[in-house]
Structure 1
Amino acid sequence: MEIISYCIENENDYAAAVERFGVSYQQIYSWVRKYNEKGIEGLVDKRGKRKSESEMTEAEKLRTENRILEARNRRLKTENALLKNSRNSKGGGTERSKTRISLHLCSENARRWVCNNRDL
């Protein structure tokens, strides 16, 4: 906040703030812009934090639901391919069995992702 105050008090002299505080021009500019747009709340670090459903816009809710459905669709396609391969396979250590194992692992990863992201 000290850097932002200094910059604003000196008529947005970013170069002086860079020299005084040793922070990059882009960073100071970004902080001042966020402060001017949203006040102190604009400076809160929100990286890696998900919005609750009540904070999401309708478009964000739809995008989230779409991502979950796409992951589910990929998982089901993988499972279908796995089932087809297992029906057509006559056993043995062929390339086909390696494919089945890979498909199974992909399916498990997709299933875990969907289960862990249901609340998005």
Structure 2
Amino acid sequence: MEFDMYLEREIELNQLHEDILSRREVLLRHSEWRLGHLERKRADSAANSALAKQRNKTLLEDITKVQSEFRGRASKGPSPKLQAFQESYHAMLESEIPVWKEGLRTAKKSPRSPRPPISPQR
């Protein structure tokens, strides 16, 4: 009788031990998976950071290059094409000024017709 009780208790304890070992195995696998995931994430972040640094460096070099080109162009003055365009534009304005002034004079002399009242919209 007493022997059966001890045997029963030992079986219970063995079963409990197996359950504990099984849960431990699950926790270990999950911990290993989590660690691997974090390591991959860290490696991806490092790679992305390196790419971003290279992209930023390239962008800064491009900006510096463009700034230098603009400074060089600005120091040379306007291009001959732009100068010709400006001269043509100014000549056109000079030829239109008398017409514009005449239009102003006639507008000042002619009486204005009263504006019709604005009707409310429905």
Work out whether the TM-score is over 0.5.
no
Choose between structure 1 and 2: higher helix proportion. Answer: 2
Q: Per chain length, whose mean CA-contact separation is higher, i.e. which structure has more relative contact order (CA < 8 Å, sep 6+)?
A: 1
